[in-house]
A = this chain, B = another copy of it.
Amino acid sequence: MTVYLASDHAGFDLKAALVAFLTEKGFDVTDVGPHDKTSVDYPDYGAALAAAMKADDTASGIAICGSGIGISIAVNRYPWIRAALVSDMTAARLCREHNNANVLALGERLVGIQTALDCVDTFLSTPFEGGRHERRVTKLSRPNELLS
């Protein structure tokens, strides 16, 4: 399974740690950037992650900024992305079971490294439950049809 990673400058170090962690575990890892710690805008790298994942609907993604908030908003602008901002393993499990999340969003300044690694492990190993959740997840793909 391919895992795509993107961040801004404030998420750069955690992204580097996760690239190493996932490569060691045998995942096919693609680092969408940035490739140094120059200040950048999280919406640009959120868009790059979404673009990379559009063509590969079995892929997973990880999106990181300082709080995780900005990049989680950015990637969820794209209807084929379901990004969950988490800070614990319970949320990392539920986002797969109930929401079929395909992107995990993390805040490097808010979550410590061991929590982040455990969240990533949980996210990548937990299956979607389907069932009653399927209809809700499908609705996330067509937001404009829901506006009254």
Contact = CB atoms under 8 A, between A and B. Distances in A.
Interface residues of A, number: 46
Please state the number of chain copies in the assembly: 2
Nearest to A105: B85
A118 to B, nearest CB: 16
A95 interface: yes
Interface stretch (A13-21, A41-49, A55-63): A41-49
Contacts of A148: 47-48, 51
Contacts of A135: 41
Interface of A: 39, 41-44, 46-48, 50-51, 66-67, 69-70, 72-74, 76-79, 82-88, 90-91, 94-95, 98-99, 101, 107, 110, 132, 135-136, 139-140, 143, 146-148
